[in-house]
Structure 1
Amino acid sequence: MVPLLTKSHRVIRIDLLGHGRSAKPAGPSYAIPDQARRAAVALDRLGVKRAIVAGHSSGGCSATALAEQRPDLVTALALINTGPSLDAFIAPQSAAIAPSQWPPTDEQIRRFASTGFSRAGYQIPRELLNEVHAMTYHTLTMTMGATRDYMEQQALPDRLMVLGKPLLAIFGEDDRRWRSSSAADYRAVPGATVELLPGLGHSPILEDPPRTAAPLLAFTAIHAAQAD
């Protein structure tokens, strides 16, 4: 989706600790507030003074925490298929990957990640398989647990209501991990915009980048003037 955004915006992608090309240590905290602080350090080092911050799934929690910690930095927020509370979570039907099965095979990852997409038979990109392979069992479980802990402490709409930041919530309507009807909970945030994308699941950024980029670009067109 990035090429669709870079035509009109400077785009900075951050691999949080434990993800992508970032380090995957066993010691440091993977708590959401700590991940947000690391993102803030990265943006500060890049000289970013104001930014529209977008996060997909658990990344939306880190984006919210960043706005809580650095309201001076975050101009607006876009959350993509980020469940508003644990009440919206859909328990998985299949068993999780056990420690004894790590590192997993491609087929195990496909089964584990299948609920991240709207339809059976979706070809999970090789890049995503490689991303999971690069993680350790510790970083996978710690990041999942950190999201749960953050949402147990307070639901996201309650956190966002007091921030006074423009909010866009995008949801694939056929999400199999979070009830898409729960996206309406974000309407409790004053001025929030909620966009449902029919026929798409938990990962619309992969399933249909242009349809996902469209509401995001419309949102940033309004609020980018206040960001770098």
Structure 2
Amino acid sequence: MTADPSAPPELSEYVRSVNGIELHVTEAGSGAPLLMLHGVGVDASAQRREIEALARSHRVIAPDLRGHGRSTRPAAYSLRDHVDDMIGLLDELGLARTAVLGGSMGSYVAQALALAVPQRVRELVLVAATSHGRTSSTDRVLAEHADELRGLSREQQQQWLGDRLFAPETPSSVRDQVRDWYVSRHGLGLALSPEQIEAANKAVLGFDFRADLATLEIPTLLISGRHDLLNPPAEAGRMARLLPSARLEVFEHSGHLPSLEEPERFDSTVLAFLTEQTAVS
């Protein structure tokens, strides 16, 4: 029996011990490697749609970053710990070079990784990205709207923020998909506690790559949602001007989650970029 070419690639899950912790990894596909890094408060399972789509042409490696999902959750850690974890994972998997796709917090880790070991990053795809922040983007937005949110619990504040992750025209089915994912994490006992969310946010306090981006001679694709409240497209535009080999795609009908809000365009844009870079190299 021949395999159905329309069927999604099979996902495998495994654990690797790196940098003193255990990382839970989801992998699918074959071909050129693509390291996929998720945002704060979620894990690789939230990227299943993207993993399956991109694994049709790439070997997608999607770890739960430390402090998240099924990976070890230390009481405190840093952005540098995330970078060392990814270097250790690449070593464990015997990968000398890889493309790296990071969304939101994952884009901060991706930038830090590329700056630390540029020889190991073939291409960068930075989604809903920023190059600097005194606090996490979520904490910044909550602080900016403190008067409006006064008296609300942390959970209610997160609900308020969740309602504003999307573009106005994003269908309710996509919003429900995200909410259902969070509910499922609670049901599996994998949701982050308030203390774990705080640790995740503290790990990215005060990062600033602006002075170093000009040194990154790595082909880079920036994807930004026109309605992104957390990391607006103006910031991605500034990054595109700083990076020597970057281009910016603004998704007009997306907020902070363009891979879910405009999935067909997201997949085709990322795959076209990676294919183009492979052809050039």
The alignment partner of 1:72 has SS state of: helix
The residue type paired with residue 264 of structure 2 is: P
Match of 1:202 among 256, 263, 275: 256
Match of 2:181 in 1: 127
Q: Secondary structure at the match of 1:21?
A: coil
Say whether the 8 Å CA contact 2:223–2:250 is kept in structure 1. yes
Contact preservation (8 Å) 2:101, 2:110:
yes
Max Rg structure = 2
After superposition, the C-alpha distances for 1:42-77 in whole angstroms (9 at most, x for unaligned) are: 121112111010100011010111112222211121
Aligned to 2:121: 74
Deviations along 1:80-129, one digit per CA (max 9) or x if unpaired, are 00123349x6623364999xx68x5xx76533422322238532342244
1:11 is aligned to 60
Work out which structure has the larger RCO, using CA pairs closer than 8 Å and 6 or more positions apart in sequence. Answer: 1
Paired residues for 1:55-204 under 5 Å: 55-86=102-133, 91-92=141-142, 93=145, 95=149, 104=155, 109-119=158-168, 122-123=175-176, 124-131=178-185, 134-150=191-207, 154=208, 156-186=209-239, 187-204=241-258
- Extract unaligned runs of 5+ from structure 2: 1-49
Structure 1 pair 130/141, CA: closer, same or farther in 2 (3 Å)?
farther
**Aligned alpha-carbon RMSD (Å):** 2.8
Residue identity in the other structure for 1:115 = R
Maintained 8 Å contact 1:19/1:131: no
CA distance in 1, matches of 2:221, 2:64: 22
- AA aligned opposite 1:72: Q
The aligned amino acid for 2:260 is L
TM-superposed CA distance for 1:185, in Å, is 0.5
TM-score (norm 1): 0.82
- Count matched residues: 215
CA distance in 2, matches of 1:68, 1:7: 29
Q: Residues 113 and 48 (structure 1 numbering): CA distance in 2 closer, same or farther, change over 3 Å?
A: same
1:50 and 1:226 in contact (8 A); partners too: no
Letter in 2 for 1:196: V
Structure 1: which amino acid aligns with 2:206?
D
Q: Identify if the C-alpha distance between structure 1 residues 184 and 39 changes in structure 2 by more than 3 Å, giving closer, same or farther.
A: same
The letter of the residue matching 2:180 is R
Structure 1 vs Structure 2: percent identity of aligned residues?
A: 28
How far off its partner does 1:130 sit?
A: 3.9
CA pair 96-62 structure 1, distance change in 2 beyond 3 A: farther
CA distance, structure 1, for counterparts of residue 150 and residue 95 of structure 2: 39
Kindly indicate whether the alpha-carbon contact (under 8 Å) linking 2:216 and 2:244 is maintained by their aligned counterparts in 1.
no
Q: Which amino acid aligns with 2:200?
A: T
Residue aligning to 1:34: 81
Q: TM-score, normalised by structure 2?
A: 0.68
